[in-house]
Amino acid sequence: MVRGAYLVSTIPYQYHISMISIRPYNTEDYLAVKENLKEAEMFVPDVDTAENFHQKSLRDPESILIAEDNGEVVGNLFFMEDGWRVYLFSFAVKMKFRNQGVGKKILERAENILKNRGYTSLACFISDEKAFNAFYSKLGYKKEHVSPLRVIYKDL
Ligand SMILES: CC(C)(COP(=O)(O)OP(=O)(O)OC[C@H]1O[C@@H](n2cnc3c(N)ncnc32)[C@H](O)[C@@H]1OP(=O)(O)O)[C@@H](O)C(=O)NCCC(=O)NCCS
């Protein structure tokens, strides 16, 4: 009895993925994406608005990709491309669905889309080594040697 309770309290509660699909964002996804970005500590209130996501998806519907499982948004990935270079942003899988291949699947979809558009590389800013060592390096990403970057901005 005590042993059972101990096991329950130490095994992280995880939801199992049934059938994952990757598709472009639509406006009904906003709240789920917002919550996902908040959970991953990536939500930027002034920038990550419903209107900005809508405008971005109008310009390029594939530039916000949604991972959906059983009707639920379980991950999202944004990219920016303008002919010069492609950058990945706001890439997060809902915590309880991590480590089941969702991140890999959504990233591979983005890579395929961009390859088909003629790009030969995809870049991403990372804040520490953890994400690189645990995830990106396994998927073939390499380090670019530039000085550490911080984001600054100005309201227009
Ligand atoms: C990074 C992130 C998107 C990965 O999503 P995920 O669905 O958990 O990743 P996957 O299950 O597809 O993992 C792909 C590979 O990376 C490994 N991996 C992922 N997270 C890992 C971790 N924390 N520790 C060790 N390995 C990890 C997996 O084991 C898997 O390796 P395998 O193919 O050899 O089995 C997710 O952990 C996340 O949302 N993190 C918080 C936000 C973040 O850091 N985003 C990246 C910003 S730059």
CATH number (domain holding residue 56):
3.40.630.30
8 domain-assigned: no
Instruction: Please tell me the distance from the alpha carbon of residue 35 to that of residue 41, in angstroms, as a whole number.
Output: 10
145 domain-assigned: no
Select from 41, 98, 107 the residue to mutate for testing ligand 1; criterion: most ligand atoms less than 8 Å from CB. 98
What residue ranges of the chain have pLDDT lower than 50?
A: 1-12
Q: Cα-Cα-Cα-Cα dihedral of 134, 140, 144, 149, to 10°? A: -40
Q: What's the 103 CA to ligand 1 centre distance in angstroms?
A: 6
148 domain-assigned: no
110 domain-assigned: yes
CA distances from 149 to 6, 20, 65, 93 (A): 44, 34, 25, 24
47 domain-assigned: yes
Ligand 1 pocket residue status of 94, Cβ below 6 Å: no
Q: The domain containing residue 63 runs over which residues? A: 21-139
pLDDT recorded at residue 105:
97
51 domain-assigned: yes
Select from 127, 133, 135 the residue to mutate for testing ligand 1; criterion: most ligand atoms less than 8 Å from CB. 135
Instruction: Please tell me the distance from the alpha carbon of residue 98 to that of residue 95, in angstroms, as a whole number.
Output: 5
Q: What is the pTM of this model?
A: 0.89
Tally the domains of the chain.
Answer: 1
1 domain-assigned: no
15 domain-assigned: no
pLDDT recorded at residue 131:
84
